[in-house]
Structures are given as C-alpha cells and as structure tokens.
Amino acid sequence: MSDAALAQRALRSLDLTDLTDTCTPSAIDALCAKASDPHGPVAAVCVWPQFVRQAKAALMGSPVRIATVVNFPDGGEDVARVSDDVGEALADGADEIDLVLPYKALQRGNASTAREMVEAVREKVDRKRVLKVILETGMLADPKLIEAASRLAIAAGADFIKTSTGKTAVSATPEAAEIMLRAIRDSGRSVGLKPSGGIRTLDDAKIYLDLAGRIMGPNWATPQTFRIGASGLYDTLTAILDGKASTAATGAY
C-alpha cells in the first residue's frame, strides 16, 4: 500500500481530538472544520462534554460522529455521577462515549466496581451509539491486568476498547494493543480497538494497522472496528496526501 493510500486509510479511522486543558470554542470550530475537510471525513471528533452541543451543530449533516469523554482522565469510582454525566452528554447530542475504566479499582483487585461502572454506562448508551472503554494501559502496565481489563470491558458491553487517555506518561503501545486485540479475537464479539495517545506519524499508525491485520485479518480494521485517537496526526496525514511531508513527519499530541 502506498503512503498516500495508507494515510487515507488512517485518516478515515481518526478520532480527531482536542482534550487540552485550554480548549476554547474557537478551537472546536477549527477542529470541526478539519474533520469535514475534503481530505476526510474523519471518523469522529472527540471533545470535552461542554463542547458537544457546539460540535454537533458545526457538523450537522456530516457523517463525522461526536465523541466525548466521561470519568476522564482519572478513572474515578462514582458510578452514579458518571451515569448522570453520560445522560447529559447524550442529551447534548453525543454519538459516542469514551469512558475511563476505574482502573485503580481493578489494580486493587476490585473488579466488581469496574464492571459495575461499564454496565451502568452501557445501560445509558443505546446500541445506536458507541461505547468505548479506556483501559489506561500505561498505568495498568502488567500484561495480565491489561488482559483482565480488556475481557471485563468486553463482557460488560464495550463496543470498543481504547488504550489510553493520553494524559499519562505512557499511552498507547503495540504491546498493550496486541493483548487487547487477542482479547477481542478470543471473545468472538464484534468489538473494536482504539489506540490513543502518542501516535504522531504515519509509521506510528501503520504499526497498529498492521497489528490489527495480523491478529484480526487484513480487512478487519475499518472505522467501524478501528479508531486512532490523536490530534497532531491529522496534519501529518493531510500533508502526506498533499505530497508535502514524509511518513516520519511529526505533530504534537
């Protein structure tokens, strides 16, 4: 596959993200303009809950979906509060919910709290919308815990399992993604993968696309089953499509 074809494939699976602490309404307008650029469309924009209405209005009539985050980034354990937050986000027009798993509870051996959180949010998120569960694999670290978190999230109803918030020292890694893909494969369920955090170049994206192809099959990774969570990657991909950058071009996450 040529660099341009690979860049196009990655772009169509991109969750174009602005979860910076300094995000502004004007930044959301710029994000939505990028999302619906002729190079795209991207799969979704991922924004803070307070910007869901704005993004929904800006992308009205577009195939780009609106994703937002809950229990983010700390992965707390207040199920009732998170359920309320999800309800508000859905009422504002969110198409996709990216939920941070209570991974610290799982580290303590308290899988029931983590499971309860995912199941409660799944009850709120109807099947016309998408629930992604963020495992925070860089903090879980232990392969056995990453596998356990993957299996728990899948069993509790996740549509996607996602590596990271992008707010910790270690975000997506191929090693964690491989564990997650094997859990998806072994589950026999239709669940997607979203590597997120630190993916800045076409070569970075290719690592995860190739990994998905090797474990799940060459035609598995589509926007319905595979997403890349990133911000600066968009500029790199579009520069490649315009013939203005190499695969090693970088952008800031």
Q: For this structure, is 98 an active site residue?
A: yes
Instruction: Give the pLDDT of residue 45.
Output: 98
pLDDT tens digit string along 3-27?
999 999 999 999 999 999 999 999 9
Percent of the residues in the chain that have a pLDDT greater than 70, as a whole number: 97
Q: Is 167 a catalytic residue?
A: no
Q: What is the residue-averaged pLDDT of the chain?
A: 95
Q: What would the pLDDT profile of 127-167 be if each residue is shown by its tens digit?
A: 999 999 999 999 999 999 999 999 999 999 999 999 999 99
Sorting pLDDT into bands at 50, 70 and 90, what band is 252? very low
Q: Pull the structure tokens for residue 142.
A: 């232990």
Residue in 227, 173, 181, 225 with CA at minimum distance from that of residue 198: 173
SS3 105: helix
Of 15, 56, 162, 204, the catalytic one is: 162
Is the per-residue pLDDT at 1 higher than 50?
A: yes
What confidence category does residue 244 fall into, taking pLDDT thresholds of 50, 70 and 90?
confident
- Whether residue 166 lies inside any domain: the answer is yes
User: Exactly one of 34, 56, 132, 194 is catalytic; which is it?
Assistant: 194
Cα first-last separation, the chain: 26
Domain that holds residue 150: 3-241
Give the global pTM.
Answer: 0.95
What CATH number is associated with residue 187? 3.20.20.70
Residue 251 lies in a domain: no
Provide the number of structural domains found in the chain.
1
Out of 98, 124, 132, 159, pick the active-site residue.
Answer: 98
For residue 184, being part of any structural domain is answered with: yes
Q: Is residue 246 part of a domain?
A: no
Amino acid at 165: T
Report if residue 189 sits inside a domain.
yes
The rounded distance, in Å, linking the Cα atoms of 169 and 77 is 22
Per-residue pLDDT tens over the stretch 177-209: 999 999 999 999 999 999 999 999 999 999 999
Least confident of 31-45, 71-85, 100-114, 237-251: 237-251
pLDDT tens for residues 44-58?
Answer: 999 999 999 999 999
